[in-house]
Amino acid sequence: MSLLDHLAILPVVLPLVVGIVLIVLRNAPRALQRGVAVAATLALLPLALALIQATGDGTHLVYKLGNWEAPYGIVLVADRLAAWMLLTTALLAVFALLYALTAPVPQPSPQTGEGANAGPTPTYDRDGRHFHVLFQLQLFGLNGAFLTGDLFNLFVFFEILLLASYGLMLHGGGRQRVKAGLHYVVINLVGSTLFLFAVGTLYGVTGTLNMADLAVKLAATPPHNAALVQSAALLLFGVFALKAALLPLTLWLPAAYAQTSAPVAALFAIMTKVGAYSILRVYSLIAGEAAGPLTGLLDAWLVPLALATLALGMAGAMASTSLRQQTAWLVVASIGTLLVAFGLGSADALAAGLYYLPHSTFATAALFLLADSIARGRGEFADRFESGPAMPRARLVGGLFFAVAVAVAGLPPLSGFLGKFMLLQAALESPWMPWVWPVVLATGLLGVVALARSGSLLFYRTHTAHAELPAPANAALAPVVGLLALIVGLVLAAGPLSDFTAATAAQLTAPQHYIDAVLGGAR
Amino acid sequence: MTLFLAVLIPFAGAALVALASRLGRSLSAWAAGGVTLASLALLAPLAPLPFAGETLVQQQDWMPALGLNLAFRLDGLALLFAGLILGIGLLIVLYARYYLSERDSMGRFYAYLMLFMGSMLGIVLSENLIQLLIFWELTSLSSFLLISYWQHREGARRGARMALAVTGLGGFAMLGGFLLIGHIVGSYELSDVFASGDLIREHPLYVPTLILILLGVFTKSAQFPFHFWLPHAMAAPTPVSAYLHSATMVKAGVFLLARLWPALSGTPEWFWLVSGAGLATLLLGAYVALFKHDLKGLLAYSTISHLGLITLLFGLSTPLAAVAGVFHIINHATFKASLFMAAGIIDHEAGTRDMRRLSGLWQYMPYTATLAMVAAAAMAGVPLMNGFLSKEMFFAEAVHIAEGHLGGWVLPALVTLAGAFAVAYSLRFIHNVFFNGEPADLPKTPHEPPRWMKAPVEVLVVLCLVVGIAPALTVGPLLAVAAAGTLQAPLPDYHLALWHGFNTALMMSLVALALGATLYLLRRPLFAWHERTLARLDARVPYNALVGGLVGLAGFITRTFDTGSLQRQVFLFILAALTLGLVPWFAGGTPLTGGRAGLPLDAVSLVAAAALILATLATVVWHRRRFTALVTLGVVGLVVSLAFIKFSAPDLALTQLSVEIVTIVLLLLALHFLPQHAAPEPDRARVGRDAAIALTAGAGTAALAWAVLTRPYDTIAGYFLENSKPGGGGTNVVNVILVDFRGYDTLGEITVLALAGLGIVALLQNLRLTAPLRDAAGRVWDADAHPVIMATLTRILLPLALMVAVFILLRGHNQPGGGFIAGLITAVALIVQYLASGAAWTHQRMRASPPHPNPPPHAGEGANAGPTPTAAPPSPQPSPRPGEGANAGPTPTAAPPSPQPSPRPGEGANAGPTPVYDSHPLLAWGLGIATFTGLASWAFDHPFLTSTFGYLNWPVVGKFEVASAMAFDLGVFLVVVGATLMILTGLGGLHRAEPGTKETR
Amino acid sequence: MIDTLLALLVLTGAIFTFIGSLGLARLRDFYTRLHGPTKATTLGVGCLLIASALYFSLRDDGVSLHEVLVTLFLFMTAPVSAHLLAKAALHLKVKSLAPTPADDRSPPPDAA
Amino acid sequence: MEALIALVIGVLTAGGVFLALRGQTFPVVLGLTLLSYAVNLFLFIMGRLAIGVPPVISESAAGYTDPLPQALVLTAIVISFGMTAFVIVLALKARAELGNDHVDGVQLGEDRQA
Amino acid sequence: MLDTVIPIAYALVALAFAMSFWRLIQGPDAPDRILALDTLYVNTIAFLVLLGIHLGSAIYFEAALLIAMMGFVGTVALAKYLLRGDIIE
Amino acid sequence: MRRLLPHPLLSVSLTLLWLLLVNELSAGALVLGALLGWLIPFATSRFWPEQIRIRHSGVLLRFLGVFAVDIVRGSFHVAGLILKGPTRLRPAFVEVPLDLSTDLAISLLANTISLTPGTVSARLSVDKRTLVVHTLDTGDAAALVAEIKQRYEAPLKQVFEEGDA
């Protein structure tokens, strides 16, 4: 076996090993730590691309951990969807990390009640201990979750990425952050409990944990077990919905994302997508066309909830009083849009959702990063929507804000528009169309209105500064530019990319291939 | 891809212009002009094609699968608009160069202008509807930037946002409309759409399609009731108004009417909706324009009115009306742009646009006045001007359409009335500004503008005249191709001439002129009446109320939903889970109880279960008596482990027991720093509600458990039982599953543990808590920190416990036990030392000795080639606590417990008074060993974590097993010890923080 | 014979275990209650463990002595627990039937 | 026996849920611990109840219970241990940052140490 | 002989368990509860030993050993909390 | 010697312990046990800085014998008291002055007292000179103190402390 045969596990093992190395290097010169962290994160890119390449022809790369056959051992399954998620994660991680390395932590404003501190402001990765370790292990958790083909293993990786995210979320501390973090942690712990109840029940009925095997077993569920497995599958949905922040389980998100540090919030842009991914992965397998009592299980739930989430997200964005808060609500809205696509379930809709997924990830991440620069540039006014001093380099930052806002609002010519276009087009065939269209279109408009108001307040309605404010460094803006470049890339390469997502969607709507690839050896 | 390039040039030019502005103000103007010319030059050679009756379509794949391609089209209509955009654009560039003041950033202005120009060109040259929409939205965005150009002005900001919101609304609606068209036709290409006109009109979705598209059109072209944004957009610099709000952007709406005319028009719905809105707008705009005191306000409403006129023409659905519409588009662009520029000149030179202050400017700027008068005459529809010609055609069509209908006089009467108002406001524009006595306290003394500021106006005014006098010679061919492009069909028979004889239309024109003059003469009573009545109606009020209401509603929803309360979140989550879990059962058909026989009940179990239930209840009831609750929780844990034992899970029992104790220790540590008395419950209703949902949740899980337990199942477990020994080399199947079959889970699990440790370390940073000096009852703590008897005895226990840990670790593969339990035993044994002898004492002793027993040699000699910790006692660590972080020097390395852990020189310098044992190396070693064991299988061409085992037979010792899984388990062991110690010592170290220490980052 | 001994040991053990808990439940102040579990229960478990050792030694033809370990642990830890609890009770001034000794007022040797 | 176990799980869950809904951090932690007991038991019994047949291979064994749920529970126990530890420390951190031990940082009634 | 004794022994141990638990609930003071918990641990050991003899399996031995160790640690920690508040100092 | 084998006694005990743990007496177990018995004291040597020296092994053995008997006696005694009922008890706190000085000996004494008839050592004074003992049923406090000193303290002092002071 060459290293290439281990391709499916490399994106998982690499961050783990690097995480361990970084624990070892915790007292080494900072440059070395950073170098290792950046190199490792960058290295995920070629790996993800190689996986895209390897799965591009429809192959399911099945990696049998411990060399045990499929339903017994744990398998990793890399298909187009997994590769797509990995690539998105890797790209996002690079920029989030770069930002953490270069941008200085904002001075705590008097409002947050922290004492003023003297001395040079550190960058985010120096604001607390173990940033890089936590960051790498977060990637370990994310990549593991995207690749696993085992339901319980998914739980384990959920926990890894959650615990790493707790550490990252609370990194640096502070009153509001700790409060938001406490909520985030507790609600997710309750969620994990539910995950176990659901997995347990599924095992108790089917006697298996492998997702492909589960799909087979569940499809053959006898009628006297129907409600039981439906119940379990819906509970599982509840867990994923919580991670995805689907209504009514949204409430943890706005505070958590708004209060954490900018690079972490940016990285978290992918976190809700894990929930969405899981919904897609699991229910495309166990609730597909020929899934016995589970057929169409989520049909009645997902779309209305996602639409409500979208609406609530936009309402929150309209009502927000600071940019970070608004961005957090926009994350909610974007997840709503994404899940509308997943909920519609047709191949076209899935393709639209999958195209929209990296877009919304990059766009909201960019907005988080930019909000941080803005907050720093406006001194004590931070990112609150109040008339404040004109920030230094307002033209440049304002221009970036405009571009990012266009992306987030889903306006042309950026990829958000294309995603929504694809989504609306796909919705045409669906009975949900009379609901999807008005909500998606109306919330799009609300997003424009809300962001126009924010931009106008932050950049236009200014008075002269009475104090010297720090200008945002190029280094802090570069990741934003980078993410924007990715979004532009999504537009320019929309053809091939949408073909890829269409192929991915086709793969997902025909789960039999997945099942055969995983169980082929055992049967 | 010439067309594509022509559209692209302004976009690229925007960047160029912005860059050029760094080199000089005029340079950016030159650059902007150059860009416009370049685009023009690119298009010019293609112009003959439409004249030859050809339609140029250029296409490039973008998202072919979705029907979205880069496709451009040059036909007559496109050519006309492209010409208008670029031609007038060029004039505006010139004009703005002189209009903008020193304080205004030229580069920004021209960059925005170029963006807009490119977007506008994109709209008119698009072949693909979705692509058209993209450019459509881009015009909204770039006009937002242009309107808010003077961002320090409140009006500009508001106007820009309003314009964006209203046109944005239209854009989103139009997206829907286009998608429906695409759905009906199967393509977004205009060529296909034109070919499917009948298909569209007969489709059941025709009406929604039409309404959605018209929403886009009406918002963009400021049609009633969406007209109100346009006057507010006048806060923009005048060149912007002249360009966007007369010649181009607002024309995008009517352009679209023209563009989709072949596909959508000809139905009653089209007729009523379009011409209705047009007529209303025509009248309203004309009426309001008369009463505006702001020059630009007057022009804005006039624009609205004329756009209504054009809309009305397209709404009439006859080919001739469409031709008239196209014609009026041209004419309106010329005269209105020139009027705006004239207004800008007046504003620029006189310092105000308020007609109540302006008057008698004729004597200061006669030349400008002349130009303005000619243009205003065109606006009023005075003969010899181009405005007259199209208005004539319009009147004729209005009469023609109304003929033969009951009440056929209504439409002609109304349009004549509108014409009269147009005459009146044009008169007012001229008379009020240039005559009507002397000017009153103007900010500046007016004078003629610079030469080149007038030039654009001159050009346009000349056009007005030339077209007005000799239409057939000048505009005739262009109108013909443009109209042909609109109709996508042979042109109707029409005749462009100044004189058509005495017909109805001429009569209407004359009536309008006379009536208009009368209206103007009667202006004083009219103004007074208007002030009292209709002036108070302002469309902005409902708009603001709507937006305010939306924001308020959004705030209300958000606040109602998101109260920032964790309890609410948890409540919602549990409610959601209950709903999800219960819903499937309502369908019926699934019995709760299955057919599997159960085990008989026995007394001991009953007692134990009763104790567990009571202890749980006690914990719940006494949760505010915290210490007691903790003790009862201990009982719960104990009975749970008993249950594990009872039902054949010794491994679980061992684990549960150890975890239980460590958790209690943790909770005790926490309890010390938390308030000792709980706050009272807020209200009984809350408690009742929570109790209800808790009981429901309990009942739900109990039912779920019951449902599963009473059902038989097939499991994959047989495989594990069969393969555990032959395949995994161990007889304890649970352990083999953990380290082998599902070793990957375990790797993840220890990562979680390590993460918990690391996360806690990060969390503890800067954490300062003051420990209470008295207990809950107010007693001072006992003075004896480390009771001698306890300390002595626990020291004896340590080696014993370590021995047991090694035993448990080694046997794990074959008997209940394993790395996790062994790790916890070790950690607990060390914790007892902390408990009994104190942190300082223990840390001192742990510095030089490994806190874990040296693993037996053979455990390290399996597949795992890594150095065993035997060789590597963790090196001494200085305090990693941040409080002591004042030491700037590099903290001594710790890191990989290398085989020769020689401490760096100078290390002792920053070792604080109470050294803290650093568990990081343990953690790193543990994770490292586990991961490396997994990776080692790569060397043997096996997947990650493939295990291997064998039997060795040594003299004296005898035969024993060596398995790579054991090395993995060793890793688990080390992580558990490391993480547990890290957590507990971190927490235990809290009190050492002096109270009141200032936090430092 | 052995069987009887075994049964006797088991029964004795169980009875002592019972009596220990009975004392815990019945006696009227903390300090007297402390005696039951510390001694009777410990011995009870000791008896049971000896029975177990005997049982497994007989059954599996080999000496089974690891029960001794548990006994050893118990005998080492039970008095320490009892001592600490008594100390804690004295500190907390728990109600006592016997007059409690005066507070130990001398300064602590290693006050933190 | 099955009914008894189901009842026990139900009670544990109910207690856990009730405590998780309290306002102070300490009962919430207690509640989470109870919930984890409940779910561990639940997951465990998914291998059905069996007495005296531990999954340790030996010649004399009468049979074996399903080992897989046990392995899963073991993993779950460890994970919930890590999580509990984290949330306990977080509760302390919140106490320090928020000044009281309410989950939302609001003051309800007295807090003697504040 | 053994077979008749074991159920009796079970019953006695169960009763002991119940009484210890009663004391735990009853209190009245914290040391009482800790003592009761400690006794419960010891009772559990007794139960485990009985179970071992009953089922003829030595597999429960480690659990007993562990309970002996862990019960001690728990008791010590709880008692120390009463004495000092801070248990690791 | 001390470097190579810090606590010979401990090592032997641990080896024995190992044999008990694995519950078999085989060459392999012995080797491994001895190895662990040798290694673990290294690991824990810092926790046990002082040498434990035992003199008068005979005294120790006799003490252990007395102790074992007393445990059984004590248990029966206490069991009897419990069964007789709570009203018959005459509990008391008795202060025992100590002659022992090392922590180990004091601790062992305290434990011995706790395990034997009707007594629990409740508190050690801070100066380690007095041990407060709670008794379940005391007739004569002085006699009890004397018995404790003679029966348990004297042998312990002989074994662990003679010649040290």
Q: How far apart are CA B189 and CA B196, in angstroms?
A: 11
Does A438 sit behind a cis peptide bond, omega within 30 degrees of 0 on the bond before it?
no
Rounded to a whole number of angstroms, the distance from the CA of F56 to the nearest CA of chain C is 22
Q: What type of residue is A233?
A: A
Give the pLDDT of residue B990. 67
Cβ pair B835:E13 closer than 8 A: no
What average pLDDT does the segment B288-298 reach? 88
Other C-beta atoms closer than 10 Å to the C-beta of A492 total 12
Angle CA A240–A242–A246, to nearest 5:
95
DSSP per-residue codes, D26-47: HHHHHHHHHHHHHHHHHHHHTT
Q: Out of B793, B849, B854, whose CB is closest to F107?
A: B793
B854-875 pLDDT tens trace: 333 333 333 333 333 333 333 3
**Which tokens belong to A79?**
């298909």
Give the pLDDT of residue B604. 84
DSSP reduced 3-state for B360? coil
Cβ pair C82:F114 closer than 8 A: yes
Q: How confident is the model at residue B623 (pLDDT cuts 50, 70, 90)?
A: confident
Give the pLDDT of residue A1. 52
| CA-wise closest residue to B234 among B189, B295, B319 | B295
> Per-residue pLDDT for D112 more than 60?
no
**Pair B247, B307: CB distance under 8 Å:** no
Tell me whether residue E38 is exposed, middle or buried, using C-beta atoms within 10 angstroms of its C-beta: 0 to 12, 13 to 18, 19 or more.
buried
Tell me whether residue F88 is exposed, middle or buried, using C-beta atoms within 10 angstroms of its C-beta: 0 to 12, 13 to 18, 19 or more.
exposed
End-to-end CA distance of chain E: 53
Cβ pair B1001:A117 closer than 8 A: yes
**Pair B210, B270: CB distance under 8 Å:** yes
| CA-wise closest residue to B241 among B324, B135, B353 | B353
Q: How confident is the model at residue F22 (pLDDT cuts 50, 70, 90)?
A: confident
Q: How far apart are CA A449 and CA C102, in angstroms?
A: 77
What average pLDDT does the segment C68-82 reach? 86
Residue B873's closest chain F neighbor by CA?
F43
How far, CA to CA in Å, does B928 sit from each of A21, A520, B736, B874, B975? 8, 33, 20, 14, 9
DSSP per-residue codes, D36-87: HHHHHHHHHHTT---SS--SB--TT-S----HHHHHHHHHHHHHHHHHHHHH
Give the pLDDT of residue D109. 44
**Which tokens belong to E47?**
């139960």
What is the Rg, in whole angstroms, of the alpha carbon atoms belonging to chain C? Answer: 19
| CA-wise closest residue to B417 among B310, B524, B516, B533 | B516
Judging contact as 3 or more Cβ pairs under 8 Å, the answer for C and A is: no
DSSP reduced 3-state for A284? helix
Q: What type of residue is B55?
A: T
DSSP reduced 3-state for F131? strand
Q: What is the DSSP letter of B962?
A: E
Cβ pair D56:E59 closer than 8 A: yes
| CA-wise closest residue to A134 among A161, A153, A154, A158 | A161
**Pair D45, B711: CB distance under 8 Å:** no
B541 or B896: which leads in pLDDT: B541
Give the pLDDT of residue B917. 74
* Segment (H or E) for F97: strand F92-97
Q: What is the DSSP letter of A469?
A: -
Residues in chain E with CB shorter than 8 Å from the CB of C18 are 12-13, 15-16
Q: Who's near B60: CB < 8 A, 6+ residues apart?
A: B1, B4, B69, B70, B71
How far, CA to CA in Å, does B235 sit from each of A196, B144, B167, B241? 61, 11, 17, 9
Give the pLDDT of residue B882. 37
Q: How far apart are CA B779 and CA B776, in angstroms?
A: 7
> Per-residue pLDDT for A117 more than 70?
no
Q: Who's near B664: CB < 8 A, 6+ residues apart?
A: B630, B633, B634, B637, E74, E77, E78
Count Cα neighbours of B730 within 13 Å in the Cβ-side half-sphere: 30
What is the Rg, in whole angstroms, of the alpha carbon atoms belonging to chain D? Answer: 19
Give the pLDDT of residue A121. 63
Q: How far apart are CA B927 and CA B978, in angstroms?
A: 10
Residues in chain B with CB shorter than 8 Å from the CB of E88 are 669, 831, 834-835, 838-839, 984-985, 987-988
Give the pLDDT of residue B953. 78
B720-745 pLDDT tens trace: 988 888 888 888 899 899 888 999 99
A117 or F126: which leads in pLDDT: F126
B541-593 pLDDT tens trace: 888 888 889 889 999 988 888 888 888 889 999 999 999 999 888 887 778 88
pTM equals 0.90
Q: How far apart are CA B663 and CA B631, in angstroms?
A: 12
Task: Tell me phi and psi for residue A357, to 5 degrees.
Answer: -60, -55
**Which tokens belong to C102?**
């005066």
Q: What is the mean pLDDT of chain F?
A: 80
Task: Tell me phi and psi for residue A384, to 5 degrees.
Answer: -75, 150
**Pair D6, B613: CB distance under 8 Å:** no
Give the pLDDT of residue B27. 85
What percentage of residues in chain C have a pLDDT greater than 90?
5
**Pair B906, B928: CB distance under 8 Å:** no
| CA-wise closest residue to A411 among A363, A455, A461 | A363
What is the Rg, in whole angstroms, of the alpha carbon atoms belonging to chain B? Answer: 43
Rounded to a whole number of angstroms, the distance from the CA of D78 to the nearest CA of chain E is 17
| CA-wise closest residue to A262 among A377, A347, A185, A156 | A377
Reduce the secondary structure of F103-127 to three states and give it as a string: HHHHHHHHHHHHHCCCEEEEEECCC
**Pair B797, B829: CB distance under 8 Å:** yes
What average pLDDT does the segment B979-986 reach? 85
Residues in chain E with CB shorter than 8 Å from the CB of C34 are 35
Residues in chain B with CB shorter than 8 Å from the CB of E41 are 638
- Quickly tell me which residue has 């597909």 as its tokens: A288
How far, CA to CA in Å, does D98 sit from each of A39, B70, D105? 38, 57, 5
DSSP reduced 3-state for C89? helix
Q: Out of F79, F110, F136, whose CB is closest to C19?
A: F79
Residues in chain C with CB shorter than 8 Å from the CB of F123 are 86-87, 90, 101, 104
Rounded to a whole number of angstroms, the distance from the CA of F40 to the nearest CA of chain B is 6
F97-110 pLDDT tens trace: 888 888 888 888 88
| CA-wise closest residue to D38 among D62, D61, D5 | D5
Give the pLDDT of residue A466. 62
| CA-wise closest residue to F77 among F119, F108, F109, F140 | F119
**Pair B824, B808: CB distance under 8 Å:** no
Which residues lie across from B58 on neighbouring strands? B72
Judging contact as 3 or more Cβ pairs under 8 Å, the answer for A and F is: no
Q: How confident is the model at residue B894 (pLDDT cuts 50, 70, 90)?
A: very low
**Pair B734, D74: CB distance under 8 Å:** yes
Q: What type of residue is E51?
A: L
Give the pLDDT of residue B849. 42
Q: Choose from E48, E54, E55, E57 for mutation: most chain D CBs within 10 A.
A: E57
Q: How confident is the model at residue B412 (pLDDT cuts 50, 70, 90)?
A: confident
Q: How far apart are CA B111 and CA B95, in angstroms?
A: 15
**Which tokens belong to A520?**
């082929």
Q: How confident is the model at residue A176 (pLDDT cuts 50, 70, 90)?
A: confident
* Segment (H or E) for E76: helix E61-84
End-to-end CA distance of chain A: 24
Does E28 sit behind a cis peptide bond, omega within 30 degrees of 0 on the bond before it?
yes
Q: Who's near B209: CB < 8 A, 6+ residues apart?
A: B177, B180, B181, B184, B200, B203, B264
Give the pLDDT of residue A504. 93
Q: What is the mean pLDDT of chain B?
A: 83
Task: Tell me phi and psi for residue A71, to 5 degrees.
Answer: -70, -10
Q: How far apart are CA A257 and CA A181, in angstroms?
A: 9
Chains with at least 3 CB pairs less than 8 angstroms from chain C: B, E, F
